[in-house]
Chain A
Amino acid sequence: MISVYHYMGVAGILFAMGTYGVLTRRNAIVIFMCVELMLNSVNLTFISLSAHLQNMDGQIFVFFIMAVAAAEAAVGLALMITFYRNRASIDVDDMNMLKW
């Protein structure tokens, strides 16, 4: 029997994987994909808890998160394209103009 704990566990593992990816990867697009993974683990958490609690709020929240993630993707990819045009790279190690 799959309980809410299983879903929460999967979501927690996904979140940890996303966090690990953001911290270790060097390619901006892969980092962004890892951020999306984190957001999707949050969606999974919300939906499983919503089903468990018999409460609709969590599912509505998920719709907002998906809409916002789409808007964020549009802006983020545009920023990456402008950076790529000027530096011909999207490696975060090449973002080295601003340093102390």
Chain B
Amino acid sequence: MENLVEIALQNVNMAAILPSVILTCFGMGLLLINVFLPRGTTRPAVWISIIGLVVTGFFVFSGWGDPQYGFNDAVAMDNYAAFFSIIFLFAAGLTILISDNYLHREGYPVNEYYPLILFATAGAMWMASGTDMMTIFLGLEVMSISLYVLAGFFRGQVRSNEAGLKYFLLGAFSTGFLLYGMALIYGVTGSTKLTEIGVYLSAHSSLLDNPMTLAGLVLLSIGFLFKLGAAPFHMWVPDVYQGAPTPITAFMSAGPKAAAFAAFLRIMEYCFFTLKPEWTAMLWVLAVMTMIIGNVIAIKQTNIKRMLAYSSIAHAGYAMVGMVAANEIGYSGILFYMLAYTFMNIGAFAVLTLAGKKGEDNLTLEGFSGFGFKRPYLGVAMTIFLFSLMGLPPTAGFTGKFYIFAGAIDAGYIWLAIIGVLNSAVSLYYYLRVMVYMYFRDPVEDYSWVSLPAAAVISIVIAIIGVFYLGIIPGDVMELAKLAVF
């Protein structure tokens, strides 16, 4: 018995989970501190959570290039996990900075909001660093359960209730598929560790066309594609994104989406590299469908939040092109693109958050008429983010798409790259329409309710710096992304 305990303790390596443990401690400490703060005082919670994210980021950075494996190979804090962790931390930090003013405006100055974001971020980090299906599942659920609460955070607003409940029902449904896939794969290979599954499948090639393996692969993919918001499992995305509080929409479209990519990519690459032709063929079709559905339906939208939701479906499609390419430049392109997308999308949502009236009734295109002249700074910021989302140089969106499509061409998927580029041409229409309303329509409002709180300005400035840094000097970050992939 003592021997067993010793063996178990030897396998524990706290360094592998140190960053996420620190983040969770900050979250739990914040919950305790909140009890002693007077109601409506949220400023301390904002800054404590920002400090928590910065400290976590420091530990993630210091672990770069020094992979830590722990818990009997259930967790691997390698460069791949570190790169994704940085993306989640940026997403959480930018979101927290734009939230404070918004929560006060909407009448929910509640402190529990911030720990929930920290827990969701920690869950995302476990997803990215999980090398065992159990770790990935637990990370996914920690993240998702926090997000269900955050999506339905405005208790008195039916829209927010509805978004939370829809997200919860469909998220739990997709978890069922994911778990059934994991169970079948476990049955075939006798292990839940990703590397052992991969080794077993490559050693027993007769298992590759076994229906149980293929059913497991498909069910597992359904679970992850659902979290990615890829077609045909995208139906929840527009509803949830529109109904959730705007900063939470920004967070959901950046952090959790990147987390789903992180876990999906690792599972596919570690477990199913022997089935690569099969799953790249499957993802080829789905990537094309996702891009087309996202972009075409976005054209019809008059609510900007809902339009950005469809555009986020389309962006998931672009990133999936990198998975189809399945080579170094495609994979590192996904990492790069997710970082770029975090900056540009959260930036756009930050402007949207500031421009909205109480009760969020000012998010339609008409509501933005003349916004660019009445609020010039925010107008310019929005223009930069929209240019980046379109994929125009010299912004991050351009370089990100460039790397991903270059990967696809490198792997011989010329047509896929052409479809992707045509799709970004389609997306010009609905992004430019926002700018047409901002600059070429006469203002119907004076936007006197728009204030510029310092925290939100910091967030927008960081996002603009990120967009231009990744757009003009992408080489450094791309080198890091190349070191991060397998």
The answer to whether B179 touches A100 (Cβ under 8 A) is no
The answer to whether A49 touches B158 (Cβ under 8 A) is no
The answer to whether B134 touches A64 (Cβ under 8 A) is yes
Which of chain B's residues has its CB closest to A12's CB? B180
Shortest distance between the CB of B168 and any CB in chain A (Å)? 5
Which of chain A's residues has its CB closest to B303's CB? A100
Contact status of A61 and B134, CB under 8 A, knowing A39-B179, A42-B176, A72-B141: yes
**How many residues does chain A have at the interface if contact means C-beta atoms less than 8 Å apart?**
44
Residues of B contacting A35 in the complex (Cβ-Cβ under 8 angstroms): 169, 172-173, 175-176
Give the segment of B58-66, B78-86, B187-195 that binds chain A: B187-195
Which of chain A's residues has its CB closest to B244's CB? A98
Within 8 A of A (CB), among B186-212: 186-187, 190-192
Within 8 A of B (CB), among A34-65: 35, 38-39, 41-42, 45-46, 49, 52-53, 55, 57-58, 60-61, 64-65
The answer to whether A32 touches B161 (Cβ under 8 A) is no
The answer to whether B190 touches A55 (Cβ under 8 A) is yes
The answer to whether B183 touches A28 (Cβ under 8 A) is no
Q: Which of B133, B152, B238 contacts A79 (CB 8 A)?
A: B152
The answer to whether B173 touches A22 (Cβ under 8 A) is yes
Residues of A contacting B327 in the complex (Cβ-Cβ under 8 angstroms): none
The answer to whether B172 touches A32 (Cβ under 8 A) is yes
Report the contact-size class of chain B (Cβ under 8 Å from the partner). 35 or more
Residues of A contacting B242 in the complex (Cβ-Cβ under 8 angstroms): 98
Shortest distance between the CB of A47 and any CB in chain B (Å)? 10
The answer to whether B238 touches A64 (Cβ under 8 A) is no
CA distance A75 to B150 in the complex (A): 11
Q: Which of A8, A41, A95 contacts B165 (CB 8 A)?
A: A95
Residues of B contacting A52 in the complex (Cβ-Cβ under 8 angstroms): 187
Residues of A contacting B184 in the complex (Cβ-Cβ under 8 angstroms): 45
Please tell me if A24 contacts chain B, counting CB pairs below 8 Å. no
Please tell me if B164 contacts chain A, counting CB pairs below 8 Å. yes
The answer to whether A57 touches B186 (Cβ under 8 A) is yes
CA distance A57 to B187 in the complex (A): 11
The answer to whether A97 touches B183 (Cβ under 8 A) is no
Beyond A65-B137, A83-B162, A95-B165, 20 additional contacts (C-beta under 8 Å) are A15-B180, A35-B169, A35-B176, A55-B191, A57-B186, A57-B192, A60-B134, A64-B134, A68-B138, A68-B145, A72-B145, A72-B172, A79-B148, A82-B155, A82-B161, A86-B161, A98-B242, A98-B243, A100-B297, A100-B300
**16 CB-based A-B contacts, threshold 8 Å:** A15-B176, A19-B176, A35-B176, A38-B176, A39-B175, A57-B134, A58-B183, A61-B134, A68-B138, A72-B141, A72-B172, A75-B149, A76-B148, A79-B152, A86-B158, A100-B238
- Which positions in B face A, CB cutoff 8 Å? 133-134, 137-138, 141, 145, 148-149, 152, 155-159, 161-166, 168-169, 172-173, 175-176, 179-180, 182-184, 186-187, 190-192, 238-239, 242-243, 297, 300-301, 306
